[in-house]
Amino acid sequence: MSLVGKKAPSFKSKAVINGNEIVGDFNLDDYLGKKEVVIFFYPKDFTFVCPTEIHAFQENLAEFEKRGVQVIGVSTDTEDSHLAWLLTPKQNGGIQGVTYPLVADASKTIATNYGVLGGEYDYNEEGELVFDGAPIAFRGTFFIDKSGIVRHEYVNFFPLGRNIAETLRVVDAWHHYEEHGEVCPANWIEGGDTMKETRESVAEYLASH
């Protein structure tokens, strides 16, 4: 079930902030009404594709902050695992230098509520609890507006790294819509043509392209 247009699931959990400090009560609600939020889920600490994405978000962090957007990473690892990885130099496979929050979802409830857990719990014929699938998060990305409503989401399977530039493009498109009331067509980028939400404007746009 898509979360687009719905209230983003709230959560409070342990997290590492500023790249070196564990907090026990990191709360999504603290940002609502103040900032927009990009939450991205990744499968596991100390892996191969995940650090490329985590570093890419850090490299673009100033662009998100310039747009008033808070970036938050989440995986089903513990806060201790996050901290160990954050203290490991980049040349050794670590993510040292990352400063935005990394949330620990060891209970897997956050990933479940966002619909990105790679499997689900079930019972076998003996009545024993089992897990069908992978008990880690897919590569889910969610853009949440200031009122806490999800305006964009996409989910990749484990081997497929995401495009951070596309997330920035979505933020820009939403800001343009909010400011000008104009919708953004396919492949729109900042400064590109937009259109009003009428049949006539759509026809005119398509005719000119």
The catalytic residues are 50
Residue 43, both tokens: 């499968």
Question: Among residues 102, 120, 101, 103, which one has the least CA distance to residue 112?
Answer: 120
CA 71 – CA 4 distance, rounded (Å): 18
What are the b/e assignments for 105-120, b being 16+ CB within 10 Å? beebebbbebbbbbee
For CA atoms 40, 46, 50, 52, give the dihedral sign.
positive
Classify residue 144 by burial, with Cβ atoms within 10 Å: 0-12, 13-18, 19+: buried
Residue 30, both tokens: 């603290």
H or E stretch including 10?
none
The 3-class SS string of 130-198 reads: EEEEEEEECEEEEEECCCCEEEEEEEECCCCCCCHHHHHHHHHHHHHHHHHCCECCCCCCCCCCCECCC
